[in-house]
Structure 1
Amino acid sequence: MRRLNNLVTLFTAITAFFFGSFITRILSMADKCPAERSGVPKLEPHPDLFLVILVFSAPANTEQRDGMRETWLRLGQPLKQTYFPEDYIYLPSYSGGHLQMETVASQANRLQQYISWQQQLPKLEQPRVHRNIKLKYLFAIGTQQLGSTLRLELEHEQKEHNDLLLLPQLQDDYSNLTEKLLQSLATITRHYEFSYLLKVDDDTYVKLDNLINELVSYDRKLLRRRSDYAHDPLPELFWGYFNGRSTIKTKGHWRESNYFLSRNYINYALGGGYVISRRLCEHVANNSQLLSRYVSEDASLGTWLAPLRYVYRWHDARFDTAYMPSKCRPYHLVLHKRNPQLMQDLYTGKLCTHEHPGQRVFVSYYYDWTKPADKCCDSIVA
């Protein structure tokens, strides 16, 4: 009888173990399912990534996507540059519980350091081992209410390139850009492990090798200096070209009817291109149901991140991401408002083919975080 009882106990324990394992697996699979709101099918698993490149693209913009695939998305694979000097990397410190942003003088000094380093780069000894920095790029496209012809073209494009992030519950138009950002971040953070995300438009050109090189140096220095932050959280990166004096739009496509927080938009990085860390992506994705949606996608992101005390807002004059281009400079890392031909020109070493005599250009500035919003952007880059 005792032996029978032991056998029953053993059988019960084995059954419970396998049943528990089965339930755990089911729950684990459920946890990895895509967010119901986006309706995006499960993506294939991917190894850990250093950088995800999220490109906002309209369904019909095949030429723009091909232009990016054939030019700057090829840069940095592998990365052949010598390491960008960590001495040129600024890390903010805490004071009174908040991160202290970089001064105008420091921004100007670092730009000159970068220009000098860039000029010396051809003379520097190149590394013997090329660095394989893992990255992935995805073109985010809403497919709700899309015509059958265009849908079929996207299916063919996906079969050929496998780089489209198709959002079936999003109608792709200007009024839905903020929702597009939310759905994209929710899907990407759920399915990929990554350190940073670069968001750009499909008319943006990025000197990807230079940007990755500096981002790697920033990341390495931050991890080595982890102990400097003691019990404070590590800074989370928000890198781009910031605007703090943009007036709230009252007309046209960008008219805002629900932005009551201030007279101007809270400072934000211009949407032509910016980098954010994974933790900030997760913050947005995890709280998407609680966040107010404003018409302007980039202004929305700046508002959502405004209360967080551990955000390092790195204003960088090398991001030419305004609504009109700045005067071309060799130091620019991110250049907005470029068509496929201009991207090809940049890729082959031509700098300023878009400029014409008498054309109006955007004047770049350093951001003065010590000044009120209407005085933040008066320090012009020489």
Structure 2
Amino acid sequence: MLRGYLRKYRTMVLASVVFFYLGCCLTINFTRIECANKTSSKKELETQVQSLSKVQYVVIILSSPNNDLHRDAVRTTWGNYVNNIFVENGEIIYKWNHNSMSEQSQRNVIKLLFVVGTLGLSGIKADKLRNEQKRNKDILILDNIEDTYKNLSLKVLNALSWISENLKEMKYVIKCDDDSFVRIDLIVKNLNAFAPNMNAPELNKFVTFKEQLPTYKGLYWGYFSGHAEVFLTGRWQEKGWFLCDKYLPYALGGGYVISRRIVDYIAQNMDLLSYYNAEDVSMGVWTASLNAINRVHDVRFDTEWKSRGCKDNMLIRHKQTSSDMFQMHKSLAQSDGHKLCGTEEINRKTYFYNWNVLPSACCKRN
């Protein structure tokens, strides 16, 4: 009876054995591939860190996995302006359209890093992003963070922690979004010449300070707001906000600059810091209690929720399309770096931050 049973089901038994064997083989191979990928990613990250060892100015650009066209627009336009800053005889030099650099002067002075979270990202999208990183070597992939609006502050925290730990020569971080057009060359030129005091005569018509001190322990530079209403409902709702009925003064997130001391402070205390939906609001809270930080409001930062228009002296313009970026890039190319705008225009009034009054009265538009 047993023999008959075995003859009857022999094919089924053999098939089960074969499929079990194939399953084991596939599991082992996929495990090997996964381990190889992790090892490869680790080696790539180590190589990336080594290549950035001399970087002094880091631009972190908040992006999302699907924004590859935005990233390409940045790479094709203002991302190239890093070549306008170079080292010559040990000095940082600015020169428009400087393309013929010697090996010695081609040290990495500035590095652009697109910050993207990949937790929960589908395999195809994750592979596409990693291939983009292999081609361009300019994406900081945060595989422990899901890329959502509510995690923007976490993205900034983790990016600053990584920079603090790995880039020992870094002096300043410039934070912006992938829809910002940034004159990174002029920002670094200003930082190299005037930071952290930022009190040169040529800057006086653009900036206001919280206070003038003989020495500063850091720089927080951007376009500040001190009277913004707290969002209590909707997409930007801040459920955990309790500090006051206004947001604390902060530099608007379309683009701002923070110095090494601030970066290190945030990185060292990230486990203790409260954070909010808006990463720029979070930065204002994180830095609010810091002493001797030079808080500089600059009207050349067009970083509000809606652009104020276009002026040739602007350092950052937020809320720009890829087409806008190519147009500004073309205008600069045709004018040897002097004209950012095809035609200068003012759509909204600006304001100079008044640091001598309470925040509710800080920002009266001219």
* Matched residue SS, 1:288: coil
Contact (CA 8 Å) 1:175, 1:253: kept in 2 or not?
A: no
Query: What is the deviation of 1:79?
Result: 2.9
Q: What is the match of residue 249 of structure 2?
A: 267
Q: What is the match of residue 210 of structure 1?
A: 186
Please show how residues 114-125 of structure 1 align to structure 2 within 5 Å.
none
Partners of 2:349 and 2:179 lie apart in 1 by: 20
Query: What is the deviation of 1:361?
Result: 3.7
Partners of 1:257 and 1:61 lie apart in 2 by: 28
Query: What is the deviation of 1:48?
Result: 2.3
Q: What is the match of residue 331 of structure 1?
A: 313
Q: What is the match of residue 44 of structure 1?
A: 49
Gaps of 5+ in 2: 1-43, 87-94, 97-103, 199-212, 333-339
1:97-139 CA-partner distances (Å, limit 9, x unpaired) = xxxxxxxxxxxxxxxxxxxxxxxx99xxxxxx98977111111
Give the AA of the match of 1:217.
A
Query: Which of the residues 64, 71, 76 maps onto 1:65?
Result: 71
* Matched residue SS, 1:44: helix
Q: What is the match of residue 361 of structure 2?
A: 375
- TM-score of the two chains, using structure 2 as the length reference: 0.72
From the superposition, tell whether residues 131 and 237 of structure 1 become closer, same or farther in structure 2 (CA, over 3 Å): farther
Q: What is the match of residue 129 of structure 2?
A: 154
Please show how residues 140-289 of structure 1 align to structure 2 within 5 Å.
140-193=115-168, 194-219=170-195, 234-289=216-271
Partners of 2:67 and 2:342 lie apart in 1 by: 22
Contact (CA 8 Å) 1:79, 1:132: kept in 2 or not?
A: no
Give the AA of the match of 1:73.
G
From the superposition, tell whether residues 133 and 71 of structure 1 become closer, same or farther in structure 2 (CA, over 3 Å): same
Query: What is the deviation of 1:76?
Result: 3.9
From the superposition, tell whether residues 69 and 277 of structure 1 become closer, same or farther in structure 2 (CA, over 3 Å): same
Partners of 2:64 and 2:81 lie apart in 1 by: 23
Query: What is the deviation of 1:362?
Result: 3.5
Partners of 1:146 and 1:345 lie apart in 2 by: 33
Partners of 2:288 and 2:180 lie apart in 1 by: 25
Partners of 2:222 and 2:60 lie apart in 1 by: 15
Query: Which of the residues 112, 125, 128 maps onto 1:137?
Result: 112
Q: What is the match of residue 62 of structure 2?
A: 56
From the superposition, tell whether residues 355 and 58 of structure 1 become closer, same or farther in structure 2 (CA, over 3 Å): farther
Query: What is the deviation of 1:189?
Result: 1.0
* Matched residue SS, 1:77: helix
Contact (CA 8 Å) 2:181, 2:325: kept in 1 or not?
A: yes
Structure 1 stretches of 4+ moved >4 Å: 40-43, 129-133, 350-356
Partners of 1:44 and 1:314 lie apart in 2 by: 31
Q: Percent identity?
A: 33
1:194-248 CA-partner distances (Å, limit 9, x unpaired) = 00000000000011222111111014978xxxxxxxx986330101000000011
1:293-326 CA-partner distances (Å, limit 9, x unpaired) = 1111100110110011111111000000000000
Larger radius of gyration: 2
Query: Which of the residues 314, 329, 353 maps onto 1:347?
Result: 329
Partners of 1:347 and 1:282 lie apart in 2 by: 34
Query: Which of the residues 61, 66, 77 maps onto 2:83?
Result: 77
Give the AA of the match of 2:157.
L
From the superposition, tell whether residues 237 and 78 of structure 1 become closer, same or farther in structure 2 (CA, over 3 Å): same
Partners of 1:215 and 1:188 lie apart in 2 by: 19
Gaps of 5+ in 1: 1-39, 81-120, 123-128, 223-230
Partners of 2:72 and 2:146 lie apart in 1 by: 22
Query: What is the deviation of 1:263?
Result: 1.1
CA RMSD of aligned residues (A): 2.9
- TM-score of the two chains, using structure 1 as the length reference: 0.69
Partners of 2:143 and 2:348 lie apart in 1 by: 37
Give the AA of the match of 2:75.
R
* Matched residue SS, 1:75: helix
Partners of 2:299 and 2:137 lie apart in 1 by: 34
Give the AA of the match of 1:376.
C
From the superposition, tell whether residues 361 and 220 of structure 1 become closer, same or farther in structure 2 (CA, over 3 Å): closer
Partners of 1:133 and 1:317 lie apart in 2 by: 29
* Matched residue SS, 1:365: coil
Q: What is the match of residue 40 of structure 2?
A: none
Give the AA of the match of 1:319.
F
Q: How many residues are matched?
A: 286
Contact (CA 8 Å) 2:353, 2:362: kept in 1 or not?
A: yes
Partners of 2:347 and 2:192 lie apart in 1 by: 31
